[in-house]
Amino acid sequence: MENNNKTNEIDLRKVMRVVLDHWWWFLVSVVLFLGLGMAYYLRKSPTWKTDAAIMLRQKDAASGMEAFSMLGLTGNQAAEDEVVVLASRGLLYQAIDALNLWESNSKKGGLRWEGEFLNPGITVDYIALTEDAQKESFSVTVKPLKTGYKIKTKRGFFHRSSVKVPDLNAPVETGVGTILVHANRALSPDTVYRVQHSRRELVVARYRKAIKVSQHKKESNVITLSTASPLPERDKALLYQMIEQYNLNAVVDKNMIATNTAQFIEERLAIITAELSEAENAVAYYKEQNNIADISAQANLFLQASSAEQRALAEIETQLSLVEYIDEFLRDESKSDNLIPSNIGVTDASLSSGLSEYNALQLQRMRILRTATEENPVIEQMNAQLASMRRNIIATIASVRESLLIRKRSLLAQDSKYNRQIQNAPEQQREYIRVMRQQQIKERLYIYLYEKREENALMLAATSMPAKILDMPQRDVRSKRPQLSKVLMLCFIIGLLLPAGVLYLYKLLNDKIDDAKEFERRVKAPLLGQLVQNSRNAHIAIHEGESTVSAELFRLIRTNLRFIIPAETKSPVILVTSSINGDGKSYVSSNTALSLAMLCKKVVLVGLDIRKPMLATYFNLSTKGHLTDYLAEPDVTLDDIIVPSGEHANLDLIPCGTIPPNPSELLQTERVDQLFAELRKRYDYILVDTAPVALVSDTYLLDRVADMTIFVCRYKYTPSDMIDYINQMIDQKRMHNVACVLNGVKGLRAGYGYGAKKN
């Protein structure tokens, strides 16, 4: 747990170091994005949210009738359907047309365009538009000049035109056709006025996308309407107009049903009135012809006995009459597009339900036809569905008629019992009862239809709207967008995240060693020290009496080296290697050897990177007749190959010499062992500049004669995978007593005391 906490702490410090190293990135990015945010805020017109709420009435309390059930306004129909109606193109088209919002007006006095609604600066009449302008959207801008006005038109990106006129209110030829611009008020010379013209379907689509219609909550009759734009006054007017149009459409639909029903009732009343008059005249004529004064006492006895059957027969006759009329109505092809009178007292539930469903579909078809044609696939599908429903209703009527006739025959059979009881009554009395019965049936039917006519008249007079406004359309003062503080905060965050993301991506893609602390933590070998970049570009960085940063760091490596080498080791042989070329192993070996020589120790630097020898070049020595000659020719002695370094009296060099064709075989000869055995007798320290271990195996062949290996890595040059390579090499014990040096670290400072100088 402690190790994890330590790791997290080191990672946090690493992040902070990276941030501090690139602080100017963050500063430039934050300043840039804050400037962009301020420019966006000054150019963007502020928008406000406008919303309203309505509640659908479940029942028309004034009439108590079922007319609204076919409109989807009762609790039996989900409010989701009315959400679709409120958001429909047809309703929005009516609202936009009522407010004449087909064009948008705006003006620009500074950096931003500001919308105009109630009193726009200019209006445009289109006298003759070009064919292209009729198909595409375009804009007209007017800019007052010192003398006259400049009128510009823009259609798309490439089609632009400009014309100067001395005065407005006169036809002008432009790139979109002949137009007439009217100034509704005095125009400011520092302001540009614009009218945006779009095709009507595009305007409806734009508003339909901007307006959100939804239920307040599931299974609720409350519906909310909301939108957001820079013109809250226009939004309030539009939402209110949508609600008004919705109510008007619903009332019109309701009145269509009621009017159709009233026409039916009036037709039936005219027929029943004539039949009732004939029945009453028949009763009066019978009394007059037979000199009947009062036979009511005896007649009432039989009439009371059969009153229940008579009422039932009257009801059946009424239903049969209604069913016959509906059947005639449905079979009349001229009335196929009309609504069927449904609230006239049909008692059969299936027939009443079928009529309601038919009328609901017919109403939906009428709504769609307001914005569509008969050839529309949806209309054609509805026509087929309506025809099928008409056939089903006709079949239902036949079934209902048959049921009513069966009931009628049953009641007539029951009534025949009473007729047998009056067989012995006088003929006049029997005939009188028959005539009175017909008169009573017609009278009851007349009273029933008259009551229905009054109920229908009450429904027509009822003006209650199906949607009650709970919240009038109102601007939400807290919904202003954009807000300067939030824009600047967002830009500030983006300004910090962008360079952070770039740095993270760079670190993610970078496979080089770029953190000394992480290198020290990951590598399993001890770290002798870190070396800064040598700004002098000289191979020798340490000199007698100098206190540069590089010199002090090499002295620190020298001190750490003496602690790592076991005390009992005499004349240690130290291999200096690296993973790849360019890590600086020759630079480290040369300057480490010099630092040891400055301790009055006899030091020799052996160049055993025989594939790419560089020591002779660095020390300005001859490259002929040196180490490779000693290894290949037994006659060559050690004294023949040792040369003074020229940098310090205690430092000698053994340059590699000529590159041999068989370097690996030379390093495995006994002459190598003899060489180092003799060097141990003459010198206090033997440093060996060897080949990179990741490229060739030469260095591993020399491990048999070495006491220690210094592995050199270079900052932002050596791949970070080489750390795992070093650890694997140590775990496999391919080289023993390994220590590391990190070369070329940037930003590192060293030195002690007032005499420290830059490297």
Indicate the range of 20-24, 278-282, 608-612, 685-689 predicted with least confidence.
278-282
**Whether 56 and 40 share a structural domain:** no
Please tell me which of 347-351, 394-398, 613-617, 618-622 the model is most confident about, judged by mean pLDDT.
394-398
Say what the pLDDT of residue 64 is.
38
| φ, ψ of residue 647 in degrees (nearest 5) | -100, -30
Say what the pLDDT of residue 282 is.
74
CA gap 376, 384 in Å, rounded: 13
Residue 523 lies inside a defined structural domain of this protein: no
Task: Output the six-digit token pair for 486.
Answer: 């939030």
Task: Output the six-digit token pair for 352.
Answer: 């009443």
Say what the pLDDT of residue 227 is.
94
**Whether 19 and 92 share a structural domain:** no
Residue 128 lies inside a defined structural domain of this protein: yes
CATH of the domain at 670: 3.40.50.300
**Whether 360 and 502 share a structural domain:** no
CA gap 611, 608 in Å, rounded: 8
The owner of tokens 């800019």 is 143
**Positive/negative CA dihedral, 706, 711, 712, 717:** positive
Helix 2-21 to helix 484-509 angle (10° resolution) is 110
pLDDT-above-70 percentage for the chain: 85
Q: From 170, 204, 232, give the residue that closes a domain.
A: 232
Average pLDDT of the chain is 81
Confidence of residue 271 (pLDDT cuts 50, 70, 90): confident
Residue 37 lies inside a defined structural domain of this protein: yes
Say what the pLDDT of residue 14 is.
72
Residue 177 lies inside a defined structural domain of this protein: yes
**Whether 260 and 200 share a structural domain:** no
Please tell me which of 366-375, 459-468, 645-654, 693-702 the model is most confident about, judged by mean pLDDT.
645-654
Instruction: Yes or no: say if 122 and 183 are a contact pair by the CB < 8 Å rule.
Output: yes
**Whether 56 and 32 share a structural domain:** no
Q: Beta-carbon neighbour count of residue 506 at 10 Å?
A: 12
Is residue 305 predicted with pLDDT exceeding 70? no
The owner of tokens 């029945």 is 279
Is residue 178 predicted with pLDDT exceeding 80? yes
Number of compact structural domains in the chain: 4
**Whether 502 and 549 share a structural domain:** no
Q: From 232, 260, 281, give the residue that closes a domain.
A: 232
**Whether 226 and 87 share a structural domain:** yes
Q: pTM score, two decimals? A: 0.56
pLDDT for 632-682, tens place per residue? 888 888 888 888 888 889 999 998 877 888 888 888 888 889 999 999 999
DSSP letters, 428-450, are HHHHHHHHHHHHHHHHHHHHHHH
Say what the pLDDT of residue 534 is.
73
Indicate the range of 29-33, 90-94, 492-496 predicted with least confidence.
90-94
**Whether 456 and 563 share a structural domain:** no
**Whether 108 and 201 share a structural domain:** yes
Confidence of residue 140 (pLDDT cuts 50, 70, 90): very high
pLDDT for 33-89, tens place per residue? 999 999 988 888 889 999 999 988 764 433 433 443 433 444 434 577 788 888 888
Q: Which residues of 31-64 are buried (b: 16+ CB within 10 A; e: fewer)?
A: eebbeebeeebeeeeebbbbbbbbbbbeebeebe
Confidence of residue 625 (pLDDT cuts 50, 70, 90): low
The mean pLDDT of 604-630, rounded to a whole number, is 81
**Whether 694 and 707 share a structural domain:** yes
Say what the pLDDT of residue 579 is.
86
Say what the pLDDT of residue 709 is.
93
Residue 518 lies inside a defined structural domain of this protein: no
Say what the pLDDT of residue 126 is.
92
Of 522 and 81, which is predicted with more confidence?
Answer: 522
Say what the pLDDT of residue 33 is.
94
Residue 632 lies inside a defined structural domain of this protein: yes
Confidence of residue 478 (pLDDT cuts 50, 70, 90): confident
Is residue 621 predicted with pLDDT exceeding 70? yes
Is residue 710 predicted with pLDDT exceeding 90? yes
DSSP letters, 481-532, are ES-HHHHHHHHHHHHHHHHHHHHHHHHHH--B---HHHHHHH-SS-EEEEEE
**Residue 230 one-letter amino acid:** P
Residue 752 lies inside a defined structural domain of this protein: no
Indicate the range of 250-264, 327-341, 464-478, 497-511 predicted with least confidence.
250-264
The mean pLDDT of 478-484, rounded to a whole number, is 87
pLDDT for 208-228, tens place per residue? 999 999 988 877 889 999 999
Domain region containing 215: 48-64+77-232
pLDDT-above-90 percentage for the chain: 27
The mean pLDDT of 562-567, rounded to a whole number, is 84
Say what the pLDDT of residue 324 is.
82
**Whether 37 and 52 share a structural domain:** no
Is residue 4 predicted with pLDDT exceeding 90? no
The mean pLDDT of 599-611, rounded to a whole number, is 90
**Whether 422 and 307 share a structural domain:** yes
Residue 475 lies inside a defined structural domain of this protein: no
Say what the pLDDT of residue 711 is.
94
